[in-house]
A and B are shown apart, each in its own frame.
Chain A
Amino acid sequence: MKQNYRVLGVCFVAISAFFASGSPAMASKPEPDLELGKKAFLDTCARCHGPDGKAEVPFAKRFYPRPRNLTSGVFKFRSTVSGTPPTDDDLFRTVEQGLHGSNMPDWKFLPPETRWQIVNYVKTLSPIFQDSQPEPIQTAADPGAHADKTKGRQVYEQLGCASCHGNQGRANGTSAAGLVDDWGMPVRPANLTQGWNYRGGSAPKDIMTRLLAGIDGAGMPSYTGAVTPEDAWHLAYYVQSLQEPAHWNPIADGAYINGALPSKPDDARWNSVQATDLQLRHALEPDGSWKDAPTVNLVRVQVAYNDSEIAVRLSWDDPTEDASAEAADRASLVLRPEGVNGDIVGLQVWPYQGAPELNLCTWTAGGTLSGEIVAKSFEPSVLENNPKATLSASAAYQKDGRWELVLQRPMKQSSVPGSAALEPGRLVPIAVVIWDGAVPEARAVSPWLDVRLGSVSP
């Protein structure tokens, strides 16, 4: 009897050890249950990807990039050779973590079992999983602290990355405009300074994997065979060093400055003013679609004020400096006119029927059409044809694809009736709209940001 218990005990320990030591994927990957997977897919994925996976739902057209047609057999984020399907782990990772910066959210709230069943079901949507096998890319060990970023920079130049990604990674390479994906939709190369926006993740391992596997469907080719797996790591660490951390402050702090405000973007005093980043979204047409892929993804906002004026410094990446009268780069600081504070105004669809007017402080490159008005739309003609207040603006375009701008206006702008009257002790909602003159149909709008001017009285 005792011997049996001992044997049982040993078996129990052995089995536990087996489950504990297995990789998380192996330990929890359940047997395929397509019925469960299909139900989970229809409940959660179908709203964007369509019940048949073809992403032909009416509102898919409002997303940039579009939701994936899962029946096409083309998958962007894989750890496999270009043209071969993703591994199960690749698919699970996308479902679990989402695709940063896109509309594919993470599905961490779903239990792992459900996520695996969704993966199993997605694999039934395209014949590529029967016709072809995932072929893992060949990789080297992570050099970690021994990564050579100088070598990485050399590799960046040798591989021609700058032709799309730009010399400093700001997506302003000479071939950046005019890229189309496999579905004929305009697509932009990644702005490598925006780590938060790398769909497949921003760690060196993720970057290395994208480089060697390519992003099928999107135009980023696989560099397997063109670079050694070791050099791919050095390049990945170099690219990571280009990333500029984003500051996602839910409320921004304006800095009180005694005396004259820093009116130029390169004024050193801006270095001690808190920066807040706002992710920009493409504006939508009345039918819910977008006209062109946006080139501007992010704007960095800093606010300084004194007793009589407020200065807002804006900084954003724009691949080209456009300053001609027909198509110029433009930025608008958007404020709430008096009495509009309670309304929720979605800038992605403004102006819409019944929308309130907005207080626009607009600057245009090349010196034309700048000023402050309260208006019903962004149309330049409104600014042109109506009385406006002069706006103090100072702008500089850095030659590696970045605009820096300071707009300055009185706290209370008496010459524009109905305009925002700002005072310390309140939360001031502001928003930013950016136009890239090279792509005039793709204005990029921010969400509203509350700025705290001094301590806020209850």
Chain B
Amino acid sequence: MNHLRLFSPALLAVVVAIGCAGSKPQDASAEADKAAAPAAEQPAAPVTSAPGAQGSGSVTGMVKFEGTAPVQAKVKMNADPICQQQHADPVLAEEVVVNSNNTLKNVFVYVKEGVNGSYPAPTEPVVLAQRGCWYSPHVFGIQVGQPLQIVNDDATLHNVNSKSKGKTNKPFNIAQPSKDMKTEKKFSEVEVLVPFKCNVHPWMHAFAGVVSNPFYAVTDESGNFTIKGLPAGTYTIEAVQEKYGPQTQQVTIGDGESKTAEFTFKAE
């Protein structure tokens, strides 16, 4: 028995072939692990930091509501006459807003998984206004690193109490005592949803969906949303309602294709 037989070219070829073929299944399983690993809460970071592609595909849809719509509470603003005098009619709380066509307004919809590459944060700020002692908009999306400009449009004291729970997103509580006062903040990591409130006017609430790409939307008065500019791919779309929580769906779109996704939340 000659030792040299162990290194016969055929054996060598087989070993090399196994080695090379083995890499692809390993890569695929690594990606699957990454996608499955994060606890249901936060989306995974992009796989690479190469610039993300812009496509022409889109996901449109609506968020429906089933069951008896909860009554929207009337908000009493008598704690502050400056607030009260800006509203002739009572203002209704926005925790659950059911549109006339039985859909939900203010649901944050975004692509939670499937996006590759990085999308630079826009320099254009998202503006969160305090007007009539009410946050406007109630729910909004913003990218990591994009400026959030918080503006006081009222001639009264508001404080902006933001309760981030991320590792690097800092919670903060800042006072804006005068009209036209602006503060700029930025988020450094993905977090859906970050709550905002005012202690002086405890009926005020807003929510930020902080994401790492531009593929998000907030449903309107008809419950509709559209997410545009997607390259071909398989995506996990998540819809989050502030009271009812998240729901997800998978959508696969081809180049330039438009698909629909519908979500339904039930009354509790």
A contact residues vs B (CB 8 Å cutoff) = 74, 81-84, 127, 131-132, 158-160, 163-164, 174-175, 178-180, 182, 214, 216, 219-226
Q: Are B177 and A180 in contact (CB under 8 A)?
A: no
- B160, A163: Cβ atoms under 8 Å? no
Residue numbers in A under 8 Å from B80 (CB-CB): 163, 174-175
Interface size for B (C-beta < 8 A) is 28
Chain B contact surface mostly:
loop
Is A178 in contact with B79, judged by CB distance below 8 angstroms?
A: yes
B177 near A82 (CB under 8 angstroms)? no
Closest chain-B Cβ to A126's Cβ sits at a distance in Å of 12
B136-174 contacts to A, CB under 8 A, are 156-157, 159-161, 163-164, 167-168, 170-174
**A221 and B202 contacting across the interface, CB-CB below 8 Å:** no
Q: Report the minimum CB–CB distance from A225 to chain B (whole Å).
A: 6
List B contacts of A131 (CB < 8 A).
167-168
Q: A175-B200, A178-B79 are in contact. Are A219 and B174 (CB under 8 A)?
A: no
Question: Can you sample 28 A-B contacts with CB below 8 Å?
Answer: A74-B171, A81-B172, A82-B172, A82-B173, A83-B170, A132-B168, A158-B177, A159-B157, A159-B175, A159-B177, A160-B177, A163-B156, A174-B78, A174-B81, A175-B201, A175-B202, A182-B163, A216-B173, A219-B199, A220-B199, A221-B161, A222-B174, A223-B175, A226-B174, A226-B175, A226-B176, A226-B178, A226-B181
What would 18 more interface pairs be, CB under 8 Å, given A83-B172, A131-B167, A226-B175?
Answer: A74-B171, A82-B171, A82-B173, A83-B170, A158-B177, A163-B80, A174-B81, A175-B79, A175-B80, A175-B200, A175-B202, A214-B173, A214-B174, A214-B175, A216-B171, A221-B161, A226-B174, A226-B177
Least distance between A210 CB and chain B CB atoms (Å): 12
Q: Which of B80, B168, B177, B183 gathers most chain A CB within 10 Å?
A: B177
Among residues of A, the one whose C-beta sits closest to the C-beta of B176 is A226
Residues of A near B79 (CB, < 8 A) are 163, 174-175, 178
Pair B173/A221 contact, Cβ less than 8 Å: yes
Residues of chain A contacted by B183 (CB below 8 angstroms):
225
Residues of A within 8 A of B202 (CB): 175, 178-180
Q: Which residues does B use to contact A, with CB under 8 Å?
A: 78-81, 156-157, 159-161, 163-164, 167-168, 170-178, 181, 183, 199-202
- Find the residue from A131, A163, A178, A220 having the highest chain B CB count within 10 A: A163
Residues of A within 8 A of B159 (CB): 219, 221
A221 and B167 form a contact (CB under 8 A)? no
Contact A160 B173 (CB under 8 A): no
Contacts of B174 in A (CB 8 A): 82, 214, 221-226
CA distance A226 to B181 in the complex (A): 8
Q: How far is the CA of A94 from the CA of B148 in the complex (A)?
A: 34
> Hey, which chain A residues are within 8 Å of B81, CB to CB?
174
Give the residues in chain A near B201, CB-CB below 8 Å.
175
Q: Which residue of A lies closest to B183 (CB)?
A: A225
Instruction: Tell me, in angstroms, the Cα distance from A224 to B159 when the chains sit together.
Output: 12
Complex Cα spacing A290 to B175, Å: 31
Structural contact, B181 and A221, CB atoms closer than 8 A: no
Chain B residue nearest to A174 in the complex (CB): B79
Q: How far is the CA of A175 from the CA of B80 in the complex (A)?
A: 7
A175 to B77, CA, bound (A): 10
With A225-B183, A226-B177 in contact, do A132 and B160 touch (Cβ < 8 Å)?
no
Residue of B nearest to A216 (CB): B173
Minimal beta-carbon separation of B260 from chain A (angstroms): 40
Most buried by A among B78, B156, B172: B172
